[in-house]
Amino acid sequence: MSDRRRLQVLQAIVQDYVATSEPVGSKALLDRHQLGVSAATVRNDMAALEDEGLIAAPHTSAGRVPTDAGYRVFVDQLSEIKPLSPPERRAIREFLAGAVDLDDVVERTVRLLAGLTQQVAVMQYPSLTRSAVRHVGLVALGGSRVMIVLIVNTGRVEQRVVDVGRELTSPEGERLLVDLRGRLNALGAGRPFADVAAALPLLSGEFEAADRPVVDLVTTCLAEVVVEEREERVVVAGTSNLARFRGDFPMTIGPVLEALEEHVVLLNLINALSTDLRARALSTDPRTRALEGPEPSSDGVLVRIGQEHEHSGLFSTSMVSTGYGAGSDLVAGLGVLGPTRMDYPTTMAAVRAVATYVSRTLG
């Protein structure tokens, strides 16, 4: 039996099952697809695919449906992701371009992804630990209080107020703040947080002894911002879309909804997917890449199917995700979660396109 033809039969079964949600028989395959072989040959091919665990019969005398392994082979055989149409890409670009800040970008992104795919959209806020400094602002609030404003390359803004124990509204105090602000931006702008945190303690030595206590307090506070461990955030939209696919969940939709409510589960999942993508981007050893789990497409989109998930509540789902960032740096992940009976090519195209425009918006 031809491996090429067998893959064509598997592809046809996946496409038909995704479109109809009905088990697929050999007659339906011949009616809907130009396979160029006899019914007996198709039945033999289906028997072989079943022996390999790529398709299965949901009950006696039924057609066949893809298994998780069958979906995996189908996804891995996608040589390229069909791009979205120009009107679709233009709509994404214009929708995201209207965002006023990072929170708005995230909210618009998950709503957009959920609408495009009719699945559950998930987006991780940019991680501070993988971000870079864009600008540092110092604002005298009156008396001895100073507001430190840290603007991150992803558009994230962090603010802290510190009491420096000295009046800074005088001409001398204003000059000190201007000088310190300039040196902080010269030191930090465009650099990763880890590098900035390491350099900050050295800045005090560049100032007069009388000014060093102020400099030390400001740099200590700023260092705490760039190195602190913080709970990452994930935003979800489109959970109600799962109701459209109740028949795709073997017993109940409950375990999936419970997993979605546990944001730590989603955060761990999307972090793991983003880590896989970054590791593969850096890896040049094919032996190492072979040990890293599901292979991403050539376009950087990664798919986890069924029992490839670590959380049992997601065993009836698939997750399509990719990373996004500012410039060439991935700072977080976004994706779509839905039943394993998913239109993978279309979903992968939507996730890739949205991530691309999010990166451009933040860049």
- Rounded CA-CA distance 195/348 in Å is 35
Do 226 and 105 contact (CB within 8 A), yes or no?
A: no
User: Which of the listed residues 227, 244, 278 is the one where a domain comes to its end?
Assistant: 227
Quick check: helix, strand or coil at residue 62? coil
On whether residue 277 sits in a domain, the answer given is yes
- Rounded CA-CA distance 62/150 in Å is 61
On whether residue 81 sits in a domain, the answer given is no
Residue 295 has a pLDDT of 43
On whether residue 237 sits in a domain, the answer given is yes
Q: What is the mean pLDDT of residues 309-314?
A: 87
On whether residue 201 sits in a domain, the answer given is yes
Regarding pTM above 0.85, the answer is no
Q: Are residues 244 and 304 in the same domain?
A: yes
How much of the chain exceeds pLDDT 70, in percent? 87
Q: Are residues 284 and 186 in the same domain?
A: no
On whether residue 322 sits in a domain, the answer given is yes
Say which range, 54-58, 245-249, 281-285, has the weakest mean pLDDT.
281-285
Q: Does residue 292 carry a pLDDT above 60?
A: no
Cα 53 to Cα 29, 49, 243: the distances in Å are: 19, 6, 29
Q: Are residues 51 and 33 in the same domain?
A: yes
Is the CA virtual torsion 165, 169, 171, 173 positive or negative? Answer: positive
User: Which of the listed residues 202, 227, 252 is the one where a domain comes to its end?
Assistant: 227
Residue 258 has a pLDDT of 86
Quick one: tokens of 201? 């303690």
Q: Are residues 221 and 247 in the same domain?
A: no
Quick check: helix, strand or coil at residue 322? strand
Q: Are residues 247 and 357 in the same domain?
A: yes
Which of 158, 102, 90, 95 is closest to 326 using CA atoms?
102
Q: Are residues 348 and 236 in the same domain?
A: yes
Q: Does residue 230 carry a pLDDT above 60?
A: no
**What CATH number did the domain enclosing 333 receive?**
3.30.450.40
On whether residue 32 sits in a domain, the answer given is yes
Q: What is the mean pLDDT of residues 154-169?
A: 85
Q: Are residues 237 and 346 in the same domain?
A: yes
- Rounded CA-CA distance 26/357 in Å is 42
CA 69 to chain centre: 23
Q: What is the pLDDT of residues 69-101, one digit of tens each?
A: 999 999 998 877 788 888 988 999 999 988 888
Do 13 and 24 contact (CB within 8 A), yes or no?
A: yes
pLDDT grade for 45, boundaries at 50, 70 and 90: very high
Residue 156 has a pLDDT of 74
Q: Are residues 112 and 246 in the same domain?
A: yes
Do 322 and 355 contact (CB within 8 A), yes or no?
A: yes
User: Which of the listed residues 227, 247, 270 is the one where a domain comes to its end?
Assistant: 227
On whether residue 123 sits in a domain, the answer given is yes
On whether residue 57 sits in a domain, the answer given is yes
Q: What is the mean pLDDT of residues 285-312?
A: 63
Q: Are residues 41 and 121 in the same domain?
A: no
Q: Are residues 68 and 105 in the same domain?
A: no
Domain that holds residue 136: 130-227
Residue 184 has a pLDDT of 93
pLDDT grade for 129, boundaries at 50, 70 and 90: low
- Rounded CA-CA distance 187/122 in Å is 35
Q: What is the number of domains present in the chain?
A: 3
Q: Are residues 243 and 347 in the same domain?
A: yes
Q: Are residues 341 and 273 in the same domain?
A: yes
**What CATH number did the domain enclosing 62 receive?**
1.10.10.10
**What CATH number did the domain enclosing 205 receive?**
3.30.390.10
